[in-house]
Amino acid sequence: MRIKSLFLCIPLAYIAHGCLESEHEIEIHQDINETETPVDSLEYLEDLGEKLFFEPMLSLDQSVHCASCHIPEHAFADTVPFSLGVDGKLGKRNTPSAMNLSGRTELFYDGRATSLEDQVHFPVEDALEMNVKMHVVVERLKNTPRYVKWFDSFFEDGITENNIASAIAEYERTLETGNAKIDQVARGEAQFTESELRGQTLFNDPKNKCFDCHAGVDFTNDEYRNIGLYDGIDKNDLGRFNVTQDSADIGKFRVPVLRNVALTAPYMHDGSFQTLLEVVDYYSNPYDVVPSPINMDSLMIEPLDLSDQDKIDLVNFLKTLTDEQFLD
Ligand code: HEC
Ligand code: HEC
């Protein structure tokens, strides 16, 4: 994966002044090798997107930026069940990782955004998140000489809502992780421990069904499924139904990416599980947590009744999806 430092000064092909310095310096991982990467137009756009991702001007009172909730050290997720937006307003869903999304065709737990570009205006304009109109953000950036310079160097039409979204989306596409232990094992460069191996077998076992939903390179089939976290009593988020108004979609959420899942606690759309063991406990017997789920997926109906060892093994397997390189 590639995350460039905010402090990295790269000779830019498109402008003479070269260095995108930030007033709001937030140190994230600097990969020295990055300085040797040939600079091309896409890289320039990614850099600009990174600035915007860490730019508080994208919030009403300039107190919150994207990374306030999508924290780099936590695989660009948050550590609390619900994040705080401007004025300390509490959100309604857990902040998911903003990594490994380049393969997704729809975003959010309910799929209401259709691309990374389309997604950007949602948090900016959300009253509980950044709470500012996109046209106001455009005006603010237009009044900030360094942004005028950076945008004009790349885009013929300078600072626009679409160009802001393009830059942020392009930055997000750099946040891909492909060097977790599981990848190293697949390439023959590392070996699973016995517990991790048993966990992988359990995960892929048709009896446990994890792989039916968490399939593919990012461990999601990108479908909307109801794993039983809706009962109309304490668990009230209708999920995908909010977008489609189809009663078949009540309580369905997009199957999340599991890469780096060990870093993104708490879990689920409502952040109700603190640890991976709690998640696996839930899959073992969902009815212990939600006795009367509504519209639960047929795959979930029969409890798995996993042994304590099975649970530990599954958790150890899930931990092999963490890209250690990214933590350096
Ligand atoms: C106040 C906290 C907060 C801020 C600030 C915030 N987000 Fe989010 N983000 C969330 C939450 C919560 C969700 C999930 C909402 C949902 O699914 O309904 C989310 C979802 C996302 C997703 C979709 C992830 C997925 O798996 O579908 C992306 C991408 C994203 N945010 C990017 C951004 C960008 C870019 C910014 C800045 C412009 C930003 N976020 C600002 C809390 C925040
Ligand atoms: C029927 C499809 C389905 C099956 C089967 C399934 N999952 Fe999930 N999984 C989901 C969905 C949907 C969510 C998100 C639910 C939510 O946010 O409320 C999820 C969430 C998770 C999460 C939390 C991710 C996060 O970032 O919050 C983990 C971990 C997980 N599943 C692991 C597993 C394991 C291990 C198994 C097998 C024991 C499994 N899943 C079986 C669909 C499934």
Q: What is the tens place of the pLDDT at every residue in 16-73? A: 333 333 333 333 333 323 433 334 579 999 999 999 999 999 999 999 999 999 999 9
Distance 220 CA to ligand 2 centre (A): 9
Orientation angle between helical segments 134-142 and 161-172, nearest 10 degrees:
90
Quick one: residue 239, left, alpha or beta (phi over 0 = left, psi -120 to 50 = alpha)? Answer: left
CA-nearest residue, atom 38 of ligand 1: 66
Task: Give domain limits for the chain.
Answer: 32-172, 181-327
Whole-number Å distance between alpha carbons of 266 and 271:
5
Q: What token pair was written down for 218?
A: 């990012």
In this structure, of 32-41, 52-61, 174-183, 318-327, the range with the lowest mean pLDDT score is 32-41
| Residue 123 CB less than 6 A away from ligand 1 | yes
Distance 326 CA to ligand 2 centre (A): 23
Whole-number Å distance between alpha carbons of 120 and 92:
18
The two domains 32-172 and 181-327 share their CATH topology (first three levels equal): yes
**Ligand located closest to 91 CA:** 1
Q: Is 210 helix (H, G, I), strand (E, B) or coil?
A: helix
- Give 327's pLDDT tier (boundaries 50, 70, 90): low
Nearest-atom index, ligand 2, CA of 284: 38
Determine the pLDDT at residue 24. 33
Reported as type and span, the H/E element at residue 225 is strand 224-225
| Residue 44 CB less than 6 A away from ligand 2 | no
pLDDT tens-digit map of 147-164: 999 999 999 999 999 999
pLDDT tens-digit map of 248-288: 999 999 999 999 999 999 999 999 999 999 999 999 999 99
Q: Could you tell me which CATH number the domain at 32-172 has? A: 1.10.760.10
Distance 65 CA to ligand 2 centre (A): 28
Mean of all residue pLDDT scores within the chain: 89
pTM for the whole thing?
A: 0.90
pLDDT exceeds 50 at position 121: yes
Q: What is the mean pLDDT of residues 65-90?
A: 97
Strand 253-254 with 224-225, pairing = antiparallel
Nearest-atom index, ligand 2, CA of 224: 12
| Residue 68 CB less than 6 A away from ligand 1 | yes
pLDDT exceeds 60 at position 13: no
- CA angle in degrees (0–180, nearest 5) for 251-252-255: 140
> Domain 181-327: which topology?
Cytochrome Bc1 Complex; Chain D, domain 2 (1.10.760)
Distance 172 CA to ligand 1 centre (A): 12
Determine the pLDDT at residue 324. 79
Distance 123 CA to ligand 1 centre (A): 6
| Residue 220 CB less than 6 A away from ligand 1 | no
pLDDT exceeds 50 at position 9: no
| Residue 76 CB less than 6 A away from ligand 1 | no
| Residue 91 CB less than 6 A away from ligand 1 | yes
